[in-house]
Structure 1
């Protein structure tokens, strides 16, 4: 019996699911680099996203009928936008090809342009900030404020200048930022507040859903997100004007004819403004199937991740990411734990120890933005406007980011995308494997 899992193997129900990924039998890259052979490890189910037979049949029917696109405003698109807006208490929803397209549309709709400064987290996926360069705007990076990796309102306010027009926050790993404090800063300084909710499907802050508190909120609904249409994004807002501008950037008739009411935009409904960022009809159906089950999916993931993180927290020097009072975790994206100096392993050493036992652990892919060339003043020679914005961003961000740097160096990503089954047997298997690694370290 593992001291990390006192219920024992029988209570965990460790066994195969009958659905394994062929990649599970391959040695890990890290093990190969060390010249060792990785253990096959515990059996893993298919990696998320996973769809049931009913939605697969519905998508197959769309393909058979040739309804793989929607130039109008068909029932699949309308249903997805309506249900997304209702769940988050928003007046308008706009489904797009990706979360990145949603962020570009959000910044455009707010009128952000050349020379404007926008405060963004240093710890976030680069698409939170990179669309700003296309508009000639300057992302100003904010260091992490606490162990969650999120920005703190006081740090954000300290970066406000006369050129600042907006604040963008990412609810990192699914943990909501302190939206009341950030809303107060935005209101006090007359700034727009944008939520990047791509990690945070189903998360709440003081009983309010993440995505309901900014002037605009954007979700990714693609890739391995908890709501996934394969590729997709969603923009939410209560502003009719913001919605119209975002829709004009990303669509043209007939979608614009059917959903933009503002008279001043009537002359432009035929052409839009040059973008064509429509989600596909099958993508909308796939995303809807997850949205309809979101509460169930969140419950499973939170239960599995809470058990795994708590068990790992019993190991010396392994610290689960804190969850603040008033916050509930939703997708628990990447599911990181912090490997502190008290651990007998470095973060990378613990990753290798896990990979050698067939575990799907690694450093997070989301790293601090300040390490990328694009945020250090290097830009392709494509556009004078982009180049000027990149140079300005390099100058304003020429400072240390100690908290972001430290946290990223200590975080280990857990296999959250495999923890979608109820009472996942992977929880106990991973705890046993790490217990073995630490036991060997103690006796070495």
Structure 2
């Protein structure tokens, strides 16, 4: 039991007898009949893969590049594959250090181990969970070669300040935009400001091909290196112009990380509607987050001046010590009423064994990088730990309908939980 603000102890309530659980629509990703018919046609024709550079793949890459004002786009099997390709294309190698957020999905950092490189974790800065540029700069050392940032939950980092840090120290800047389809920073789309940007285009992302990823860059050389790592034969021959790579176009470098043709078509159907999808999600999430913010001790995630939210991926609210419930108690109270709330799946990287030096029976290069990461990150990460312990994930993946009725149903259910607590 925890004390309320008025001093009366309460236990987290279960649902009232006969309490109606809200009806949830299908969980995102959702596709319309037109794209389903197009995918069916591809399957019927046996066009489930693309070793060349067919129209489906070309359209998706062109659309992504144009939307973000980039010169080159490379569609891949996942955002993780895109991040591996990004680090490889930048020349990151054994012993190099890359500064990454502590609060991010592990794939922002884990591909570095495959290259023998060392992720240096940066504690969260403000309540958004994003890194603070000054804290990033404080971590720059003689082995640092790049900075990678995640626009956590779809909230853009301060890219102007981070760009300045990277420029002062001659470092590459990588944007992990996997949470942030449609987000902007000072009127510029995320994905347009780093040396390389990577999007996840799979799973429950707002633009989803089932499984997929996208790498964006303006550098011809970076694009060529990334393409050679992830493709071979016709694709490389058709899209790499740099003469010095011509002897390697047939073989590539052994990787095969191509998005499927149906995946490209599915992702394109969402990208074509992205403005509409963002508007719906922002409307629904803004209303739900603001409504929950009227409850005692529940704080909506802040949106900084000059930032617009896009996908609002895994949208969270912070359950502060002033709330009559802990985060876990509030989650339990919501789940007892049929609400799809929980702690976020994205947790601080420093809690995982991989970032604590555990590397059994792996290659000497990988094991050395894991051990080095454990040593350099042997320090506290208080802000990341505090935020993760307080965040409650909201049902973003069900809020894709226009003016979703779930918003009102969720607010009523939480009002009920707090009302029961007050009268207990």
Shift in Å at residue 180 of structure 1? 0.1
Contact 1:128/1:196 (8 A) holds in 2: yes
Shift in Å at residue 87 of structure 1? 0.1
Contact 2:202/2:211 (8 A) holds in 1: yes
Paired with 1:140 and 1:39, the residues of 2 have a C-alpha distance of: 48
Offset from partner CA, 1:69-88 (integer Å, 9 cap, x none): 00000000000000000000
Offset from partner CA, 1:387-437 (integer Å, 9 cap, x none): 000000000000000000000000000000000000000000000000000
Name the CA shift for 1:105/1:84 in 2 (closer, same or farther; >3 Å).
same
TM-score under structure 1 normalisation?
0.91
Offset from partner CA, 1:230-260 (integer Å, 9 cap, x none): 0000000000000000000000010000000
Unpaired runs of 5+ in structure 1?
1-27
Unpaired runs of 5+ in structure 2?
none
Name the CA shift for 1:68/1:29 in 2 (closer, same or farther; >3 Å).
farther
Name the CA shift for 1:252/1:31 in 2 (closer, same or farther; >3 Å).
farther
Name the CA shift for 1:236/1:316 in 2 (closer, same or farther; >3 Å).
same
Paired with 2:405 and 2:375, the residues of 1 have a C-alpha distance of: 50
Shift in Å at residue 37 of structure 1? 8.5
Shift in Å at residue 379 of structure 1? 1.2
The size of the alignment, in residue pairs, is: 417
Paired with 2:8 and 2:262, the residues of 1 have a C-alpha distance of: 39
Name the CA shift for 1:383/1:32 in 2 (closer, same or farther; >3 Å).
farther
Contact 1:31/1:356 (8 A) holds in 2: no
SS in 2 for 1:115: coil
Choose which of 367, 387, 391 in structure 2 pairs with 1:387.
Answer: 367
Shift in Å at residue 382 of structure 1? 1.8
Contact 1:39/1:358 (8 A) holds in 2: no
Name the CA shift for 1:233/1:440 in 2 (closer, same or farther; >3 Å).
same
Paired with 1:300 and 1:201, the residues of 2 have a C-alpha distance of: 13
Offset from partner CA, 1:211-240 (integer Å, 9 cap, x none): 000000000000000000000000000000
Paired with 1:347 and 1:134, the residues of 2 have a C-alpha distance of: 36
Shift in Å at residue 380 of structure 1? 2.9
Offset from partner CA, 1:267-311 (integer Å, 9 cap, x none): 000000010000000000000000000000000000000000000
Paired with 2:12 and 2:259, the residues of 1 have a C-alpha distance of: 45
Paired with 1:77 and 1:31, the residues of 2 have a C-alpha distance of: 61
In the alignment, what sits opposite 1:17?
A: none
Contact 1:31/1:355 (8 A) holds in 2: no
Name the CA shift for 1:230/1:39 in 2 (closer, same or farther; >3 Å).
farther
Paired with 1:68 and 1:437, the residues of 2 have a C-alpha distance of: 49
Shift in Å at residue 38 of structure 1? 7.1
Name the CA shift for 1:436/1:276 in 2 (closer, same or farther; >3 Å).
same
Shift in Å at residue 30 of structure 1? 27
SS in 2 for 1:193: strand
Name the CA shift for 1:72/1:111 in 2 (closer, same or farther; >3 Å).
same
Name the CA shift for 1:39/1:198 in 2 (closer, same or farther; >3 Å).
farther
